[in-house]
Chain A
């Protein structure tokens, strides 16, 4: 028995080494997701049944109240949108005066989360749109509040999204107040990210809003990312420790938006 265990430990060590330093198992994992996605759909049944029961047992009065509240909210948002359209037109005119390039227009496609990684350290979700909807690797994903992450794997009818709080995710951002550029990294905590390599002399304060800077060309410019929550500096360290709270509801949002940039051309099929 001990001999078997010894060989099993050796096998495990070998697998860890191979998986850490070679891409040999990547395609195997890709094929395996074809098995796990149906299982994820099955495991979603309890929440779907709960939602269905909730919908069918809600009284008419509550639905009417909810409808009235949504109607008010819609009017407020339409008002804000009119103001935004005026600002966008003014911005375009100013950019033309400066001979600057026009900002790209984005279109979006609504998608739903169908699976969440069961590993608490692995911040990935599966969504119900795939290659059939022209989803592509690297495509930005938003929720109603802010940037959620990017597509890492695309299959026929579903895709995997790496969230911005994942330990392996880094995102170029800028401070909305003064345009200061930096990189925000995930910490494996849904409610916290960290801003890297910020010198103590730069102008950054708690409460500053961070938006995507567009550097690297993966994420579009100007999408809200998070808010600076805490700034501290340990004695002897060259850079500050800056905690950022993500704006997107990374662990709660069920419906997300896939961003299509109009210049993507062949991807315009999916933009709605």
Chain B
């Protein structure tokens, strides 16, 4: 197994995700905008769980909290749970077909949004559920190019 450096592509992808997240979109479209930081986190944890594990999920979660101006710890909790799910299943899913991975991301986005809705309802914040399926579909579409890029690093690493 070759040891290749992935720090630069990870940082570049995180920066790209932050910029994509900040691109202004109006009103209702904002709810359909994928969480690009979450997708980048899933991609690297899925393919490189030994390098980018729970600690990585926590760091990306803190970045998301600061970016979204949410309560500090809110995204840390959600990203940690999501990272843990990905780590548990990575041995199986890394060998699955792209289509299967897209379905997995679709389901993970739904889980994350339901977790968010649950936490929001605990804090008496209004909960919107209608957008979740659309958001999951859009996130899955964005996953395809992201998966291809990280998969290339994974194959070089192997």
Interface residues of A in 1-38 (CB under 8 A from B): 1-2, 4-5, 8-9, 11-20, 25, 29, 32, 36
Total interface residues on B, CB under 8 Å, equals 41
| CA gap between A22 and B147 in the complex, in Å | 40
Contact of A187 with B27 in the complex, beta carbons under 8 Å: no
| CA gap between A43 and B19 in the complex, in Å | 5
The closest CB in chain A to the CB of B35 belongs to A118
The contact size tier of chain A is 35 or more
Contact of B69 with A117 in the complex, beta carbons under 8 Å: yes
A39 interfacial contact with B, CB 8 Å: yes
Contact of B67 with A118 in the complex, beta carbons under 8 Å: yes
Also in contact, A12 and B76, with CB within 8 A (given A43-B20, A113-B24): yes
| A8 / chain B contacts, CB cutoff of 8 Å | 54-55, 57-58, 76, 80
Distance (whole angstroms) from the CB of A218 to the closest CB of chain B: 22
| A220 / chain B contacts, CB cutoff of 8 Å | none
| B18 / chain A contacts, CB cutoff of 8 Å | 39
Contact check: which of A1, A19, A46, A124 meets B73 at CB < 8 Å?
A19
Known: A13-B77, A19-B72, A120-B128. 11 other contacts (CB 8 A): A1-B54, A12-B61, A12-B73, A16-B77, A17-B73, A25-B72, A29-B69, A43-B22, A43-B24, A46-B23, A47-B23
A-B pairs with lowest CB-CB distance, top 10: A15-B73, A251-B27, A16-B73, A12-B77, A43-B22, A119-B68, A12-B76, A19-B72, A8-B80, A116-B24
Chain B interface secondary structure, helix, strand, loop or mixed?
helix
| CA gap between A167 and B22 in the complex, in Å | 21
| B81 / chain A contacts, CB cutoff of 8 Å | 5, 9
B interface with A by C-beta (< 8 Å): 18-28, 30-31, 33, 53-55, 57-58, 61, 65-74, 76-77, 80-81, 83-84, 87, 120, 125-126, 128
The closest CB in chain B to the CB of A14 belongs to B73
| CA gap between A124 and B87 in the complex, in Å | 35
Also in contact, A36 and B76, with CB within 8 A (given A118-B33, A121-B125): no
A44 interfacial contact with B, CB 8 Å: yes
Contact of A40 with B125 in the complex, beta carbons under 8 Å: no
Distance (whole angstroms) from the CB of A202 to the closest CB of chain B: 26
Contact check: which of B28, B66, B80 meets A9 at CB < 8 Å?
B80
The closest CB in chain B to the CB of A43 belongs to B22
A191 interfacial contact with B, CB 8 Å: yes
Interface residues of A in 216-272 (CB under 8 A from B): 250-252
| B58 / chain A contacts, CB cutoff of 8 Å | 8, 11-12
Also in contact, A124 and B20, with CB within 8 A (given A1-B53, A5-B54, A16-B77): no
| A115 / chain B contacts, CB cutoff of 8 Å | 22, 24
Distance (whole angstroms) from the CB of B68 to the closest CB of chain A: 4
Contact of A5 with B84 in the complex, beta carbons under 8 Å: yes
The closest CB in chain B to the CB of A252 belongs to B26
The closest CB in chain A to the CB of B72 belongs to A19
Distance (whole angstroms) from the CB of A241 to the closest CB of chain B: 14
Contact check: which of B30, B53, B55 meets A120 at CB < 8 Å?
B30
Contact of A190 with B80 in the complex, beta carbons under 8 Å: no
| CA gap between A100 and B20 in the complex, in Å | 54
Distance (whole angstroms) from the CB of A74 to the closest CB of chain B: 27
| A16 / chain B contacts, CB cutoff of 8 Å | 71-74, 77
Also in contact, A13 and B73, with CB within 8 A (given A43-B23, A118-B33): yes
Contact of A11 with B22 in the complex, beta carbons under 8 Å: no
The closest CB in chain A to the CB of B88 belongs to A1
| CA gap between A94 and B12 in the complex, in Å | 65
